[in-house]
Amino acid sequence: MKYKIALDARPLSTPVSGVGRLITETLVHFPEKHKYEFHLFSHLPIHETHKKIFEYSNVHIHKGKNLFSKKGGTYFLISLPYEIRKEKFNLFWGSQQVVPFFLPSKLPVVLTYCDLVLYFYPETMRKIAALQQKFFQAYSVKRANFILSISENTRKDQIQYFNYPRENTDVAYPGVDLEEIYSFLEKVPSEKIKSLPKKFILSVSTIEPRKNYPFLLSVYREYRKISGNKKLNWVIIGKRGWESLDFYTNLEKDIKEFSDITVLDSINDIDLHHAYSRAEVFLFGSKYEGFGIPLVEALAHKKKSLVSDIPTFHEIGGSEIFYLPTENPKLWAEKLFELTQSNKYPLIDLQKFSWENSALQTKKVFDKFL
């Protein structure tokens, strides 16, 4: 007998993102694959950046076909529960911290909880998205039999905010696959990576309010003033999201005037890890994070890192990296310049941040209900 697990796979319909990567890597590294079938439900085809899941015979794709499948929201509300009711599943995995209404009442639900940005920093979200998420997350937490958070800090916040029983929670850290990283570095990067300077300052994330890029731009402007002929360019890798028009105007102005900032959108993993390998310092100024995969990836490359002083980053970097409140751009610029001149590199034990451990922990939780 194989256990049949249904999951919301809509994040896999777009290029790699944090949640999409978590789903893909969990499926790839899930132990004892012969015992489990994963049924992925999505309104759109799985994007090619997640294509490695097709290599596994225990992964089955269910693409929406009716009128309600044209939009992700209506698919989630109507088509997804309808399709799940047509077959007998042993478990539903709410992979992006929400579950639909009208699932079978006896179907166990495990929820992966990524962050509480909706409650702590609602101003960094689109208003319509915040309204939808607030409605669904409260229901989803009540419906869940067990909640897996992606960091200890997120677990703590989720328990406190929802008054959720601690015994029904645990942590499955996202991670990195060092062997895969090494394989990426053995391949030839694209011309846009080859054309970058030999050394640079690197930031990786979607450009959206929570990532605090207006502050980082202020930091880089101060750094530009003090670094003189030792200045390193700043490379930003990430999709252009819903950051303010003023920020994009200021960013484009600096790019045009100084030619020392580069923005790369939606690059593949080969290019991404070649960029990490060539970076001198990793710069991450988020106001809030449920975890921080880019920081783990940077530390996998042993990169000096300057990040915002938030609890989740301390979980990852310990005493090996530098933390500052996001209040004083000049202070950040001074520390950034100091790091670019330093020869001391961080040494982090990444064992607990491996996808193997993450998948194993997820399996242990699933097995409680199978």
What pLDDT is attached to residue 133?
A: 79
- One domain, residues 19 and 156: yes
Query: What is the value of pTM for the model shown?
Result: 0.89
Q: Is the pLDDT of residue 131 over 80?
A: no
- One domain, residues 294 and 251: yes
Averaged pLDDT for residues 244-270: 93
What pLDDT is attached to residue 243?
A: 73
- One domain, residues 107 and 194: no
Residue 312 · residue 291 · CB < 8 Å? yes
- CATH number of the domain within which 105 lies: 3.40.50.2000
Instruction: Determine the Cα–Cα distance for residues 293 and 291; give it in Å rounded to an integer.
Output: 7
Averaged pLDDT for residues 83-106: 94
pLDDT in tens, 280-309: 999 999 999 999 999 999 999 999 999 999
Q: Hey, which residues does 148 pair with through a beta bridge?
A: 112, 170
In the structure, what pLDDT confidence band is assigned to residue 122 with cuts at 50, 70 and 90?
confident
What pLDDT is attached to residue 275?
A: 98
pLDDT in tens, 22-38: 999 999 999 999 999 99
Q: Which amino acid is at 31?
A: P
Structure tokens at 96: 């992006």
* CB within 8 Å of 49: residues ≥ 6 apart: 15, 16, 20, 268
- One domain, residues 294 and 219: yes
Q: Is the pLDDT of residue 69 over 90?
A: no
- One domain, residues 212 and 168: no
pLDDT in tens, 221-256: 999 999 999 999 999 999 887 778 899 999 999 999
- One domain, residues 60 and 144: yes
The owner of tokens 């085809």 is 45
- One domain, residues 158 and 135: yes
230: containing domain: 178-350
CA atoms within 13 A on the CB side of 369: 22
- One domain, residues 117 and 186: no
Domain count, the chain: 2
Better-predicted residue by pLDDT, 281 or 76: 281
- One domain, residues 11 and 141: yes
- One domain, residues 108 and 255: no
Q: Is the pLDDT of residue 120 over 90?
A: no
Instruction: Determine the Cα–Cα distance for residues 281 and 16; give it in Å rounded to an integer.
Output: 23
Instruction: Determine the Cα–Cα distance for residues 320 and 346; give it in Å rounded to an integer.
Output: 5
- One domain, residues 131 and 23: yes
Q: What is the mean pLDDT of the chain?
A: 93
Structure tokens at 256: 């045009």
- One domain, residues 133 and 234: no
Burial class, 249, CB count within 10 angstroms (exposed 0-12 / middle 13-18 / buried 19+)? exposed
